[in-house]
């Protein structure tokens, strides 16, 4: 649905309409998310796209109508994973919280067209109304992925945020909740690397776009709630996409993250080039 900018009157982020031009349309109807998806489509090094809250106009099949990836999973409460070269085997749908309707979705993603090499990659969404709900969801993800072994990746909207000197508190940032801090500690304690933290020294905000009175400057992002976590891989770089100017028309209330990860062969000397 997007988030309308402070001065825009030509569209609405309060409607599900993306097809009827006689009525106000949302960001999808205006083509804002599609413009950002074209960036993903045109970069052949991006081999998987994780979606969360991908409902209605932004459902996985519509997203893949722009991308043209080989395989798009079905969505489970808005969570999905799209693979440019497909999967080596069936897509896995693992329910991590039946009451909150949250899922871990992914599988062995092909790294090239011939699928000679694969990587376990998963999309996930954490959300609950209780303090203990998100840590429980995180624990179930960690237990499921631990059974896979080897290098692996999971990414998504984890709804956990921590303010500190590296990720400072700004207007509208909520207090650090014990459940959120516990979740971050659990994931990193299990040996997963936060891609943004490994490669950047800036705040890493990914939400919430164009909210009046929030952020600094006004309308800027002010939460870091989206993550790319990997185990057994080296993080090379991270970037954000879909980011509007503060207070501008935004294709989503979150921005996207792009992470470049390197497979390091077993026994490779430190510092040596690797494929």
Q: Give the pLDDT confidence of 52-73 residue by residue, as tens digits.
A: 999 999 999 999 999 999 999 9
> What's the pLDDT tens digit per position in 124-133?
999 998 889 9
Can you spell out the DSSP letters for 160-200? ----SSSS---TTPPPPPHHHHHHHHHHHHTT-EEHHHHH-
- 274 located within any domain: no
Averaged over 76-102, what is the pLDDT? 97
What stretches of the chain show up as alpha helix (H) in DSSP? 27-30, 32-41, 60-67, 133-146, 178-189, 195-199
Q: Is residue 59 part of a domain?
A: yes
Question: What CATH number corresponds to the domain at position 170?
Answer: 3.60.10.10
pLDDT of 11 higher than 90: yes
Contacts within 8 Å (CB) and 24+ apart, 40-44: 40/67, 40/241, 41/66, 41/67, 41/68, 44/84
Q: What share of the chain is helix, strand, coil (3-state, %, to 5)?
A: 20, 25, 55
| Residue at token pair 């705040």 | 203
Q: How many CA atoms lie within 13 A of 100 on its CB side?
A: 20
pLDDT band at 275 (very low <50, low <70, confident <90, very high): low
Whether residue 28 is contained in a domain is answered as no
Cα–Cα distance, 204 to 196 (Å, whole number): 7
Number of neighbouring beta carbons within 10 Å of residue 104: 25
- 249 belongs to a structural domain: yes
Residue 274 has pLDDT above 70, yes or no: no
Number of domains making up the chain: 1
Q: Is there a domain that residue 271 lies in?
A: no
Helices (H), 95-132: none
The pair of structure tokens assigned to 51 is: 């979606």
Is position 118 within any domain? yes
* Structural domain span for residue 79: 34-262
């Amino acid at each position: 649905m997007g988030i309308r900018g402070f001065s825009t009157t030509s569209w609405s982020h309060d409607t599900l309409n993306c097809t009827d031009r006689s009525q106000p349309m949302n960001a999808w109807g205006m083509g804002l998310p599609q413009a950002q998806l074209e960036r993903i489509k045109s970069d052949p090094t991006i081999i998987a796209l994780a979606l969360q809250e991908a409902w209605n106009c932004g459902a996985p099949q519509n997203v893949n109508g722009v991308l043209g990836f080989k395989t798009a999973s079905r969505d489970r409460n808005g969570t999905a994973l799209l693979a440019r070269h497909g999967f080596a085997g069936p897509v896995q749908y693992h329910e991590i919280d039946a009451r909150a309707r949250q899922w871990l979705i992914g599988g062995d993603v092909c790294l090239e067209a011939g699928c000679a090499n694969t990587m376990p990659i998963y999309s996930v969404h954490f959300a609950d109304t209780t303090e203990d709900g998100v840590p429980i969801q995180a624990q179930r993800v960690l237990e499921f992925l631990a059974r896979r072994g080897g290098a692996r990746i999971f990414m998504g909207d984890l709804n956990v945020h921590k303010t500190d000197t590296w990720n400072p508190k700004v207007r509208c940032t909520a207090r650090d909740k014990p459940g959120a801090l516990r979740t971050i500690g659990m994931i990193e304690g299990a040996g997963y690397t936060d891609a943004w933290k490994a490669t950047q020294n800036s705040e890493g905000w990914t939400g919430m776009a164009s909210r009046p009175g929030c952020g600094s400057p006004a309308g800027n992002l002010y939460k870091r709630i989206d993550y790319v976590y990997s185990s057994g891989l080296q993080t090379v770089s991270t970037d954000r996409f879909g980011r509007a100017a503060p207070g501008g028309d935004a294709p989503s209330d979150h921005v996207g993250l792009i992470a470049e990860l390197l497979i390091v062969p077993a026994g490779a000397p430190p510092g040596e080039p690797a494929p």
